[in-house]
Amino acid sequence: MDTSAQSGTNFIRNQIEEDLRAGKREEVITRFPPEPNGYLHIGHAKSICLNFGLAQEFNGRCHLRFDDTNPVKEEDEYVNAIREDVGWLGFDWGEHQYFASDYFEQLYAWAVELIGKGLAYVDSQTPEQIREGRGTLTTPGTESPFRNRAVEENLALFTAMKNGEFPDGAHVLRAKIDMAASNMNLRDPVMYRILHAAHHRTGDSWCIYPMYDFAHGQSDSIEGVTHSICTLEFEDHRPLYDWFIRSLEIHNPQQIEFARLNLSYTVMSKRKLLQLVQEEHVRGWDDPRMPTISGMRRRGYPPQAIRRFCERIGVGKSDSWIDLSTLEDCVREELNETAPRRLAVLDPLKVVITNLPEQRIDTRAANHPQRPEMGTRTMSLTPEIVIDRSDFLEDPPRKFFRLAPGKEVRLRHACIIRCDEVIKDDSGEVVELRCSCDPETFGANPADGRKVKGTIQWVSTEFGQQVPVRLFDRLFVEPTPERAEDFRQCLNPESLQEVRAWVEPELGQARPGTVYQFERIGYFTPDTKDSSLDAPVFQRTVTLRDTWAKQQGK
RNA sequence: UGGGGCGUCGCCAAGUGGUAAGGCACCGGAUUUUGAUUCCGGCAUUCGCAGGUUCGAUCCCUGCCGCCCCAGCCA
């Protein structure tokens, strides 16, 4: 793994260093704790890189622990997908894979212990009554009439809850803290609820399940976690986290909170992502337009690019909205180094070279301009080729370095051609160009010293192949769909376009796993799901920077 | 108007008493058989605002202002 990354510093790293220096901790154990109720997205990647990265950096370890305390939402499909994604990102949890459900027995015993200490009680109010009793942000709550039940009665009731003697919602176990606390989390939070639901791992063994607050900290404690890193919204829970640890007198991990990632032009909440999938706005969790790890993998984003992105955006506590261009830049940076180059024509315009000396002229083309070790391939120029429609303009603006009537341009890896004649159909559309070539310019500049600034890609219609290519655009037209009244109203109707492109012959056998650069266009890779052995379906990973287009847009 | 956080360049983000790193974006220019890449150069006399302490403050104090989170038997 590349640890060479530009390691900027951040407040969490600083604090860990301080804890180690001061002797408060002797090792660093972190954990990535996803709830298996959805697929991982780029926001999770930030947390994964942070937790695993810190553990690596301090020679500690990072656990993968599934926070599966709510059986109605969690599924094995999700735990498998999560394991695959974390591994693909390049992180290894070794033997340290855990489930909060592994600790149900221990958690139950601890609940009993707290009841014994008079720190927990069974509340028999209805959910509505409990809500009303909690008070509001500005008014204190009121104590439940069941708050002062005897320890023995609490024990008997809690045992009966566990034994399935009550229906869902009949009773709840609550921590006895302070109904007037200004921090709502301390107003006698619920520890256990009755849920007659099958759990993905424990099946029907339990019909009471611990709440997040009564499971997370203790799970960290059991595993010896030293630094429990989570997102900002849990900051208010820290006093409760500490209260349980203190009341139980067990190992005390330290919770540290950081700001979650927000990315422009996409949504990150699991609920919204689930909705996109269920309402079929996308073709599944791994749709290449999704901000999920699996979607990015399918789209061709290399894991190194995602790790670099997480390193680059830093870690802080202020709400941040990262621009999509930052992510795309990381993807380009990686792919520019590794992607073999090929020529492809997405929007073909037929060109006939009228004076080609032979029916076929072979040239050697480097697979990467800066990396000769990536080898070369042969390209065959024939009298009939296609070029991209956007590389020809009948009436070009100043500084248009491509083809136009009477103008010259270089065919990449081949020779210079001049446009002699423009052929149109009845409707006036240009359907063919007749060009003459300068045979002296194969692998050489014009002997007379004339300058031909433009170079364009081409494909021989005799040897090339036609393949489907999907062009993705951002899923949303609004920079912050997350804030919209209805984020679905912001969906980009043109986020997926499919064209039929001409590509170099060997691309017809391309397999998923390799990302190519189609020169002057972008990076493309065969889709893992829709490609077959000899029929790849290409998709655009990301475009190349295009300063010409940018200038034109102004 | 309870509590908890946050406010340094368009977007992120270091720095936390000694006179503002870096990245993305943007703007110039060089090289280029990808208008790609690469390379050079530019880009905050200023750190939410107002006072105060100090020889000196983004860093300390006071007061404002703005934004985010919390009233699930979700995590």
pLDDT digits (tens, 9 = 90+) for A54-91: 999 999 999 999 999 999 999 999 999 999 999 999 99
Query: What Å value separates CA A15 and C1' B60?
Result: 22
- Cβ pair A79, A222 in contact under 8 A: no
Q: What is the largest CA-CA distance in chain A?
A: 103
Q: How far is CA A496 from CA A23, A165, A278, in A?
A: 55, 54, 18
| Nucleotides in B strand less than 7 A from protein CB | 1-8, 10-15, 21-27, 33-38, 67-75
Catalytic residue among A25, A31, A35, A162: A35
- The arrangement of strands across the sheet holding A120-123 comes to A120-123, A172-175, A190-194, A208-210
Do A270-338+467-551 and A341-463 fold alike per CATH? yes
Q: pLDDT band at A536, cuts 50/70/90?
A: very high
H-helix or E-strand spanning residue A521: none
pLDDT > 70 fraction of chain A, expressed in percent and rounded: 98
Query: What Å value separates CA A173 and C1' B34?
Result: 66
Q: Where are the domains of chain A?
A: 11-263, 270-338+467-551, 341-463
Q: Active site includes A35?
A: yes
Q: DSSP assignment of A121-132, as one string?
A: EEE-S-HHHHHH
Query: What Å value separates CA A470 and C1' B10?
Result: 32
Whole-model pTM: value is: 0.96
- Cβ pair A374, A339 in contact under 8 A: no
Q: What is the pLDDT of residue A3?
A: 29
Determine the Cα–Cα distance for residues A308 and A331; give it in Å rounded to an integer: 9
- Cβ pair A455, A410 in contact under 8 A: yes
What is the DSSP-derived secondary structure letter of residue A418? E
Q: What is the pLDDT of residue A483?
A: 87
Q: Which residue is nearest to nucleotide B1 (CA to C1')?
A: A138
Determine the Cα–Cα distance for residues A382 and A74; give it in Å rounded to an integer: 59
Q: Active site includes A270?
A: yes
Task: Name the nucleotide nearest A130; use CA and C1'.
Answer: B73
Query: What Å value separates CA A6 and C1' B55?
Result: 39
Give SS3 for A373.
helix
Catalytic residue among A260, A412, A418, A488: A260
Please state the rounded mean pLDDT for residues A405-424. Answer: 98
Buried b (16+ CB within 10 A) or exposed e, A53-87: bbbbebebbbbbbbbbbbbeebeeebbebbbebbe
CATH 3.40.50.620 fits A11-263, yes or no: yes
Catalytic residue among A73, A134, A147, A270: A270
Q: What is the pLDDT of residue A5?
A: 33
Task: Name the nucleotide nearest A258; use CA and C1'.
Answer: B5
Q: pLDDT band at A551, cuts 50/70/90?
A: confident
Q: Active site includes A377?
A: no
Amino acid identity at A400: F
Q: What is the pLDDT of residue A4?
A: 29
Q: What is the pLDDT of residue A359?
A: 97
Assign domain A270-338+467-551 one CATH number from 2.40.240.10, 3.40.47.10, 3.20.20.70, 2.60.40.1120. Answer: 2.40.240.10
**Strand pairing partners for A376?**
A366
Determine the Cα–Cα distance for residues A23 and A154; give it in Å rounded to an integer: 41
Weakest mean pLDDT among A139-148, A431-440, A482-491, A496-505? A482-491
Q: What are phi and psi of A546, to 5 degrees?
A: -140, 85
- Cβ pair A49, A82 in contact under 8 A: no
Give per-residue pLDDT as tens, A184-240. 999 999 999 999 999 999 999 999 999 999 999 999 999 999 999 999 999 999 999
Task: Name the nucleotide nearest A416; use CA and C1'.
Answer: B33
Q: What is the pLDDT of residue A553?
A: 78
Pairing of strands A516-518, A341-342: parallel
ipTM above 0.85, yes or no: yes
Query: What Å value separates CA A11 and C1' B56?
Result: 27
Q: What is the pLDDT of residue A420?
A: 98
Task: Name the nucleotide nearest A401; use CA and C1'.
Answer: B35
Query: What Å value separates CA A9 and C1' B21?
Result: 11
Give per-residue pLDDT as tens, A20-47. 999 999 999 999 999 999 999 999 999 9
Task: Name the nucleotide nearest A131; use CA and C1'.
Answer: B71
Where are the alpha helices (H) located in A251-320, listed in sequence order? Answer: 270-278, 293-299, 303-313
Determine the Cα–Cα distance for residues A262 and A482; give it in Å rounded to an integer: 9
Q: What is the pLDDT of residue A238?
A: 98
Axis crossing angle, helix A104-116 with helix A151-162, rounded to the nearest 10: 160
Give SS3 for A531.
coil
Weakest mean pLDDT among A152-156, A295-299, A548-552? A548-552
Pairing of strands A430-438, A348-353: parallel
Give per-residue pLDDT as tens, A160-176. 999 999 999 999 999 99
Name the class of domain A341-463.
mainly beta
Does residue A554 have a pLDDT over 80? no
Give per-residue pLDDT as tens, A299-320. 999 999 999 999 999 999 999 9
Q: What are phi and psi of A500, to 5 degrees?
A: -110, 120
